[in-house]
Every structure is written in structure tokens, then in C-alpha cells.
Amino acid sequence: MDRPAFTRVEIVHPLWSGFLRLSTEDDSAMHETYDVRGTYEQSSWKLTIVWQTWGTDTFFEFAGLYVQEDILRTAPKIDQIFGVAIDDQRFAARKISVVVPGSDYDVNLRLRSSDIPTFGQVFVAREYDTPNLPASADAIVDLGANIGLATVFFGLKYPHARLLSVEPDGGNFAVLVGNVAALGDRARCRRAAVWTRDGQVGLRHENDDGSPLGAWGVQVAERPDGPGSVADCRTLGTLLDEAGFARVDILKIDIEGAEMEIFAGGAQAWLHRIGFIIIETHDRFRPGSEAAVRAALLPGFEELAGSGENLVFRRRPG
């Protein structure tokens, strides 16, 4: 098959929008609508056009769309987005869809919520992308999955792995289901809290002083703090059995302090099934959590360099 003579790219410019034809045989470029020509230089994310009559334009690629740099300078920060204008009318905005860097995968984030800093931790600071991650993984479990961003990170990094996302909060869980849907049937979501027993457990949405914890900080408690604050709870062993996971290559844990109970009692019943653990501990409101995790893990796991707010452990060989 003959090689096409050009590639076609979509452009957004402060003065015009449309398509450019970039030659595959030399460095010539042409605007389809105005028949203006020039030369181009292109990297994986940057496109520079030197026009014969318009001067020079630099564009940056966003999920297949090239946006002129002057537009990007005026783009609003996400914490400043409250609404949009459509046909001169203004409408409130509650969610935004963002493309995961380096992919075509998009996730929904709730504006003015903890979803925004969570996205920053996972996909900007890349706190789960420790160099000690296994080279391959067949089974990955995300405890305290929130809206599924860590699940998406691991699902993209390990495209053949089966994934289990566990999240007790109803609002978070609804967003989680949508965010992991494009991973297909290899991703399974379970609305539940991991706990020391099977049954039901309370969810706390407020601190002891009555201030809201927010979607980022829903905590498990034996008694609920109000109507509707009850969720199913399961031991990790039960969750693995229900999902059909005999072994887990990567276990991510961020369960807002419940790690203290999980690791202080009964962890040996399931730890032999785990190969690698990345966990955030919460001594700031559950003193002793980190010590409980280390006491349970260090006999059979080696502690590796931490990543962001997370501790990292790998099963010792043999």
C-alpha cells in the first residue's frame, strides 16, 4: 500500500480553527480552508508551523487536538471552573472529563472536590509509579478505591491484569464505576468496606469535632454517624474469594485509618496470598496505624523506598 502523501491534524487557534495537512514526504504544511502554506516541525506533543504569510505558530497536542499556545496561557485552572457559557447563557458545571496523560483514557472528576488533588497525586505526582513495581501483574486489588483513579493507573500500566476496586462510599462508588468502565470486564467493582469481619459497618463522614471529612476521608466505624451511613463490610480474604483471586500481585491500600484494625487482627489469614503492597497509613488521626502495618508485614515482607505518602513492601523470596 502506498504511503499517504499527508497527515491531517485538527487545530484550534485564537483567530481560526480547522485542519492542516502535514506532508509525509517533506516538511511542508497547508491550511485546508485558506490554502495558506508553510513548513512544520513536529514532536510527539508539539507542532510548530512557520507560515509563508502569517509568521510562526506553536501548537501543543491534547488527545489528538492541537491547541495554539496563546489559548493555553488563558486556560482556566480547574479550581476556577464553576460553569460554562453556551449560546450566551451560563450554566453551572459539576463534573469535568480529563484525559489521563499519555493515553486516550478519560476519567470524570467532580469539580471543587477531593477528586482534583487525587488526580494530581496519581497522574501528576505519579505516587503509585514506584520503580519497585513488579514487571508484570495478573491480579491487582485497590482497597479504598475512591473514584477509581489508582485502578485506572494500574489498569493502563498492566493491560492484561484483572482488577478489583473496593469502595464503601456510595457517591464515590458511582463515579468509580463510570471511571473504570472502559477497562472492560477485567475490572470489577465492589461497594464494601474492608474490615475485620463480614457483615455491615458504619461510615463516618465527620471528624470528632463535627467538621466534614469529605469524599476523600470517609472512615469505617463500628457504629454509623447518621442515617444511611452503613455499608457492607468484608474481610480481605472474603473479598479475594468472591473475586476469584487466589493470589494478588499488587495490593494498594488507602482506607483512612482502618489499616490499623486490618493489620492488627487476622492479617495472617490472607497475607500469604499477597506479593506486593503499597499503602498509605494515617497516624495523623489513628496513632499506631503505621506500627501495626509494619508489625504484620516485616516478618514476611521487605520494606522498600516509599513513594509519595505511601509505604511500599515486597514479599521476601523463598
Is the same domain home to 42 and 142?
no
- Whether 247 is covered by a domain: the verdict is yes
Choosing from 73, 104, 130, the residue where a domain stops is 73
| pLDDT score recorded for residue 1 | 45
Which among 214, 243, 238, 56 is positioned nearest to 139, based on CA atoms? 243
Dist. CA 87–CA 7, nearest whole Å: 33
On whether both 258 and 144 belong to a single domain, the answer is yes
Shared domain for 17 and 107, answered yes or no, is: no
Predicted structure pTM score: 0.85
Say yes or no: 172 and 50 in one domain. Answer: no
pLDDT of residue 102: 84
Do residues 124 and 205 share a domain? Answer: yes
CB hemisphere CA count around 222 (13 angstroms): 3
- Amino acid letter at 245? F
Range of the domain at 186: 95-315
For 156-178, write each residue's pLDDT tens digit: 999 999 999 999 999 999 999 99
Contacts of 78 (CB under 8 A, 6+ apart): 96, 109, 111, 116
Cell of 251: 495490593
134 shares a domain with 101: yes
What confidence tens digit (pLDDT) does each residue in 43-57 have?
A: 878 999 999 988 999
User: Quick check: is 100 in a domain?
Assistant: yes
User: Do 34 and 168 fall into the same domain?
Assistant: no
**Confidence at 215, pLDDT banded by 50, 70, 90:** very low
Helix (H) or strand (E) holding 70: helix 69-73
pLDDT tens profile 240-267:
999 999 999 999 999 988 899 999 978 9
Looking at the fold, whether 136 and 225 belong to one and the same domain comes out as yes
Residue 103 lies in a domain: yes
Q: Give the CATH number for residue 49.
A: 2.40.128
User: pLDDT for 5-16, tens place per residue?
Assistant: 889 999 999 988
Q: Is residue 204 part of a domain?
A: yes
Number of domains, the chain: 2
**Residue 87 lies inside a defined structural domain of this protein:** no
What is the C-alpha to C-alpha distance for residues 224 and 271, in angstroms, rounded to an integer? 29
CB 271 within 8 A of CB 296: yes
pLDDT of residue 284: 85
- Average of per-residue pLDDT values in the chain: 90
Q: Are residues 205 and 66 in the same domain?
A: no
From 24, 43, 73, give the residue that closes a domain: 73
Confidence band, pLDDT 50/70/90 cuts, at residue 222: low
Question: Does any domain span residue 78?
Answer: no
Could you tell me if 64 and 109 lie in one domain? no
99 in the same domain as 53: no
pLDDT in tens, 54-107: 899 999 988 788 999 999 888 888 888 888 889 889 999 999 999 998 888 999
Tens digits of residue pLDDT in 14-42: 988 899 999 999 999 999 888 899 999 99
Domain membership of residue 1 (yes or no) is: no
218 and 290 inside one domain: yes
8 A C-beta contact, residue 276 and residue 250:
yes
